């Protein structure tokens, strides 16, 4: 797995208010920062800017999110909640 974050990739938040929750990367700002959303507290229209060091990149990328971003440039919050819930469930959490 590439050590660099990718759009659509699941992450586990290691620091901050959302610690231990999952989110999805929707944009990469630069080497150090990405924008993450979870469709719930962090909606698509107000993503959280996060230092990559404070995230644990998961070895999974949501095709639903990446294809939606490619096709329409956005993802619905419902879809984000759904893929994150499905991912967390698959991990047994």
Tens of pLDDT, residues 65-76: 999 999 999 999
Give the whole-angstrom CA distance, residue 11 versus residue 53: 11
CATH class belonging to 9-90:
mainly beta
**pLDDT single digits (tens) 37-59:** 999 999 999 999 999 999 999 99
Instruction: Tell me the pLDDT tens digit for each residue of 15-29.
Output: 999 999 999 999 999
Closest CA to 37 of 72, 62, 70: 62
pTM greater than 0.75 (yes/no):
yes
Q: How confident is the model at residue 3 (pLDDT cuts 50, 70, 90)?
A: confident
Name the residue among 38, 40, 13, 15 with its Cα closest to residue 26.
38
- The whole-angstrom separation of Cα 87 and Cα 47 is 19
- What is the residue extent of each domain of the chain? 9-90
Q: How far apart are CA 56 and CA 41, in angstroms?
A: 19
């Amino acid at each position: 797995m590439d050590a660099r974050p990718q759009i659509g990739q699941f992450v586990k938040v290691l620091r901050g208010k959302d610690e231990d929750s999952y989110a999805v990367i929707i944009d990469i700002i630069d080497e150090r920062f990405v924008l993450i959303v979870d469709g719930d507290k962090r909606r698509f229209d107000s993503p959280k800017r996060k230092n990559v060091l404070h995230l644990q990149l998961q070895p999974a990328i949501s095709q639903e999110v990446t294809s939606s971003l490619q096709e329409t440039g956005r993802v619905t919050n419902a879809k984000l909640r759904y893929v994150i819930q499905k991912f967390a469930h698959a991990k047994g959490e």
